[in-house]
Amino acid sequence: GACGNTCAYRPEDTPNFTALMAEFRKQLDAEGALTGKHYELSAATSANASVAAKIELAKVGKILDFYNVMTYDYHGAFDPTTNHLAPLLGSPRDPAGPKFNVNYSIGYYLSKGVPAKKIHVGVPF
């Protein structure tokens, strides 16, 4: 986004995002009733649990067709040392700790009530 990682988060952003997704779904369903088509609604969301915690994952998951969890860029040029970009599993040698890996991120979404069939894992290439 325009402000990168510097945007100020407000507590009302969480329910407002849920309401925004619900309105999108309502509008897409109304159009689908006219055309006979189903219009998919998805969101690209953070693999970082502390960021994903700002989304009502279970509620929004009922609205979305699926989440595109951005399970990459766990590490990069912003780190003082090199590391895996998208580690599948955690490593005790990872200086960032045990939460920066695909296994932890997807487990977090599942623990918050998102069905596995609604989670797409982002893969870097």
Per-residue pLDDT of 21-40, as tens digits, reads 999 999 999 999 999 999 99
pLDDT at 2: 58
> How would residue 7 be classed by pLDDT, with cut points 50, 70 and 90?
confident
Distance, in Å, from the CA atom of 120 to the CA atom of 15, rounded to the nearest integer, reads 23
Q: pLDDT confidence of 8, banded at 50, 70, 90?
A: confident
User: Which domains are delineated in the chain?
Assistant: 11-121 (3.20.20.80)
Other Cβ atoms less than 10 A from the Cβ of 61: the count is 21
Quickly count helices (H) and strands (E) in the chain: 4, 3
Residue 91 binned pLDDT confidence (cut-offs 50, 70, 90): very high
- Mean pLDDT (the chain) is 94
Q: 80-92 in b/e burial notation, b at 16+ Cβ within 10 A?
A: eeebeebbeebee
> What average pLDDT does the segment 90-100 reach?
91
CB 60 within 8 A of CB 17: yes
What pLDDT does residue 111 have?
A: 99
Nearest 10 degrees: Cα torsion 19, 21, 26, 27: 120
Q: Which of 41, 35, 97, 44 is nearest to 70 (CA)?
A: 44
Whole-structure pTM value: 0.91
User: What pLDDT score does 5 carry?
Assistant: 63
